[in-house]
Amino acid sequence: MAREPKNDPTDRLLSLYEGMLTIRQAEERLKALFADGEVPGFIHLSIGQEAVPVGISASLGPADTVASNHRGHGHALAKGIDLDGFFAEIMGRDSGLCRGRGGSMHVADVSIGMLGANGIVGAGLPITLGSALAHKTRGTDAVAVAYFGDGALAEGVLHECLNIAALWALPMLFACENNGWSEFSPTDRQMKASLKDLAAAFSIPHVEVDGNDVEAVEAAAAECIAALRRGDGPRVLECRTTRVRGHFEGDRQDYRSPDELAGLAATDPIARCRARLAELGVDANRIDAIAEAIDRRVEQAVANARGAPEPSFAAAAADVYTAAEG
């Protein structure tokens, strides 16, 4: 889903809309596949949070690196992960990006700078830190982005990474998707300090943005990433967004109030973007054509995955164990 930069504001917004809709339709398809038993293990959907990775990725190139978390499908797709390999991986096929061995929470493709998702809260942060150090050591202008949720604020590794990134002026963007929830509990019941205060403690500039407004995310991310490329040190970008689905697919969300759940549609970043396109005079048929094209690509990827071979246990074991000699 890598996109060329667009100079015309309407074309740029259409590109952002396409990026968000690709994530949404891919995850809606995964939701159905999971319900039908075609996806092994658990999946954590990022429906409602699509504007964050798409807005950030608009300023990233192939040499830039990102690391993700358990809710990482959007991060992977926005960075340019191939849809065929993506679906095959999550559906546990040998043609998957990691030969079906990683699944939903470990999607990776180092060739495009996607260092991987991670099932451990906050574990992508030190991976990104190391990548940022590598970029600086090599003398390039590449940057590293760590996606994490507000549930990771209490993790000690976040504080350690903020410290090292600031000490060494590393080109690292701390991209927080603050959806207000740490699994099944409001984050403010688990963490007293704010991310803004944490960033200030390490003298790192902090920017907060409406994470459901893709244009706002794109603009804020562009400024942060430009500063990283100049060598100005790390930045923290906090995106206030909305988790529509449960912590995991199948979570009934009994802990959320009915009023909150009923109001989720009002924050939908894709609906907001479509309304903005209408304001700019974009024909509805043109927008609908984007959705139809994405649907065809998604369905083809699913069909390809269904037709792909299952992983070989012997091949997987060979990557883990070495046969004894003699």
Q: For the chain, list the domains and their CATH numbers.
A: 9-308 (3.40.50.970)
Angle between helices 124-138 and 156-167 (to 10 degrees): 10
**Residue bearing the bigger pLDDT, 220 or 184:** 220
**Residue bearing the bigger pLDDT, 5 or 310:** 310
For residue 256, the model assigns a pLDDT of 76
Given a contact cutoff of 8 angstroms between Cβ atoms, the answer to whether 28 and 51 are in contact is no
Q: How confident is the model at residue 213 (pLDDT cuts 50, 70, 90)?
A: very high
**Separation of alpha carbons 42 and 40, rounded Å:** 7
Contacts (Cβ under 8 Å, ≥6 apart) of 290: 14, 17, 18, 21
Q: How confident is the model at residue 241 (pLDDT cuts 50, 70, 90)?
A: confident
**pTM for the whole thing?**
0.89
* Average pLDDT score over the chain: 88
- What size, in residues, is the chain? 326
For residue 122, the model assigns a pLDDT of 82
Highest mean predicted confidence (pLDDT) among 52-66, 85-99, 246-260: 52-66
For residue 2, the model assigns a pLDDT of 45
- Which among 191, 195, 174 is positioned nearest to 182, based on CA atoms? 191
For 179-200, the pLDDT digits (tens) are: 866 665 666 767 667 899 999 9
Q: Which residues pair with 174 in a beta bridge?
A: 146, 236
pLDDT at residue 4 is higher than 60: no
Q: From edge to edge, which strands make up the β-sheet containing 172-178?
A: 65-67, 144-149, 172-178, 235-240, 206-210
Q: How confident is the model at residue 34 (pLDDT cuts 50, 70, 90)?
A: confident
- Give burial (CB, 10 Å; 0-12/13-18/19+) of 280: exposed
For residue 187, the model assigns a pLDDT of 67
Element (H, E) at 307: helix 284-307
For residue 123, the model assigns a pLDDT of 84
Percent helix, strand, coil in the chain (nearest 5)? 50, 10, 40
